[in-house]
């Protein structure tokens, strides 16, 4: 039930949360976020993965309780060198070179297991390829380090939506907006769900909200979340969907 033809493919650096000390209330003012972080007592609960993990991934193995083993934490400190080539990977994905983008991302993660941007990129690639369990594991690893990362919740929301777990999808997409109310892809996803449920009033309001946020961008600006889609074109497509509501 995704917006027709508009499947998120990658995430820009501007939406990546910076790491905060989990022992302190996250009240850092970040220029790219206008939403408020939740207080320590209202942290959004991390989704629990209940399915059996029986796949092979190029990520540090998880222990029985879902945590990474101590030896890999030590290895991370020793091998975590360099920066993830996010711009290059996003460009490859937008050009349809998914296999090459995936190869670069997996190679980087072999020596940089904790890199948030790389994990999110792999989560998105896996989700688009239908490797749902691996995508969930990547999101789980992100949330171990950054419990307030909206992108991880967004991917989990998409996976829940595709699996027909509508209530869970609604919860996750609303968490995304709670963490960053400028994150218009979550508005688009929520609108699609509410329209499917017959709540056209909510769907219309959400799409109009999304259009308003996208209108702030240059019409020729490519929207990295949606393959080969410019801001102006995205607005046109959303307006078509609102005409019958």
Residues 122-148 have pLDDT tens digits of 999 999 889 999 999 999 999 999 999
What does the pLDDT read at residue 237?
A: 95
Tell me: pLDDT of 14 over 60: no
Tens digits of per-residue pLDDT, 62-74?
444 445 555 445 4
Poorest-pLDDT segment among 82-86, 131-135, 201-205: 82-86
Distance separating alpha carbons of residues 183 and 173, to the nearest angstrom: 10
Percent of the chain whose predicted confidence (pLDDT) is above 90: 56
Q: Which domain holds residue 186?
A: 70-242
C-alpha to C-alpha distances, 86 to 62, 119, 172, nearest whole angstrom: 25, 11, 25
The torsion region of residue 60 among left (phi > 0), alpha (psi -120 to 50) and beta comes to beta
pLDDT average, residue stretch 196-210: 97
**CB-based contacts of 29, cutoff 8 Å, min separation 6:** none
3 found inside a domain: no
Place of tokens 């929207």: 223
Which range has highest mean pLDDT (3-7, 20-24, 133-137, 224-228)? 133-137
**105 located within any domain:** yes
The answer to whether residue 15 scores a pLDDT higher than 90 is: no
What's the pLDDT score for residue 223? 82
Alpha helices in 197-230, H assignment, sequence order = 200-214
Domain for residue 181, yes or no? yes
Cβ neighbours, 10 Å, residue 135: 23
Count of structural domains within the chain? 1
Alpha-carbon distance of 123 to 126, in angstroms, equals 5
- Which pLDDT score, from 0 to 100, does residue 109 have? 96
Decide if 94 is inside a domain: yes
Torsion sign across C-alpha atoms 75, 76, 77, 79: positive
pLDDT for 227 equals: 67
19 pLDDT higher than 50 = no
Domain contains 102 = yes
How many angstroms from the chain centroid is the CA of residue 168?
Answer: 15
For 39-54, the pLDDT digits (tens) are 333 444 444 433 333 3
What band does 81 get if pLDDT is binned at 50, 70 and 90?
A: low
Query: In which band, very low, low, confident or very high, does the pLDDT at 229 lie, cut at 50, 70 and 90?
Result: confident
Residue 227's closest CA among 33, 2, 40, 44? 2
* Domain assignment present for 37: no
Average pLDDT over residues 188-199: 96
pLDDT at residue 179 greater than cutoff 90: yes
Q: What is the CATH number of the domain that holds 206?
A: 1.25.40.10
Let me know if residue 134 belongs to a domain. yes
Does 128 reside within a domain?
Answer: yes
Angstrom distance (rounded) from CA 162 to CA 177: 19
What is the structure's pLDDT at 30?
Answer: 31
Q: What are phi and psi of 21, to 5 degrees?
A: -75, 115
- Average pLDDT value for the chain: 76
Interval 80-107 mean pLDDT: 88
C-alpha–C-alpha distance, residues 54 and 57, integer Å: 10
Residue 154 has which token pair?
């967004």
Q: Concatenate the DSSP letters of all residues of 120-167 into one string.
A: HHHHHHHHHHT-HHHHHHHHHHHHHH-TT-HHHHHHHHHHHHHTT-HH
Q: Please check the confidence at residue 161 and state whether its pLDDT lies above 70.
A: yes
- Report the pLDDT value the prediction gives residue 99, as an integer from 0 to 100: 94
- DSSP annotation string for 50-111: -S------SSPPB-TTSPBPHHHHHHHHHH--S---HHHHHHHHHTT-HHHHHHHHHHHHHH
């Amino acid at each position: 039930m995704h917006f027709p033809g508009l499947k998120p493919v990658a995430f820009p650096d501007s939406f990546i949360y910076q790491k905060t000390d989990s022992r302190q209330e996250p009240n850092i003012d970040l220029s790219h976020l206008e939403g408020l972080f939740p207080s320590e007592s209202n942290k959004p609960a991390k989704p629990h993965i209940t399915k059996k993990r029986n796949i092979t991934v190029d990520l540090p193995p998880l222990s029985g309780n879902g945590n990474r083993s101590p030896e890999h934490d030590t290895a991370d400190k020793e091998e975590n060198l360099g920066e993830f080539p996010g711009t290059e990977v996003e460009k490859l994905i937008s050009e349809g070179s998914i296999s090459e983008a995936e190869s670069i991302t997996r190679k980087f993660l072999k020596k940089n297991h904790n890199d948030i941007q790389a994990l999110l990129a792999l989560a998105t690639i896996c989700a688009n390829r239908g490797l749902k369990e691996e995508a969930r594991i990547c999101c789980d690893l992100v949330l171990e380090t950054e419990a307030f990362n909206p992108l991880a919740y967004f991917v989990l929301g998409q996976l829940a939506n595709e699996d027909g777990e509508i209530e869970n999808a609604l919860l996750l997409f609303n968490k995304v907006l709670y963490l960053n109310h400028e994150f218009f892809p979550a508005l688009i996803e929520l609108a699609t769900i509410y329209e499917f449920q017959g709540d056209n009033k909510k769907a219309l309001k959400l799409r109009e909200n999304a259009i308003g946020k996208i209108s702030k961008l240059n019409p020729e600006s490519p929207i990295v979340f949606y393959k080969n889609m410019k801001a102006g074109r995205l607005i046109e497509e959303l307006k078509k969907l609102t005409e019958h509501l």
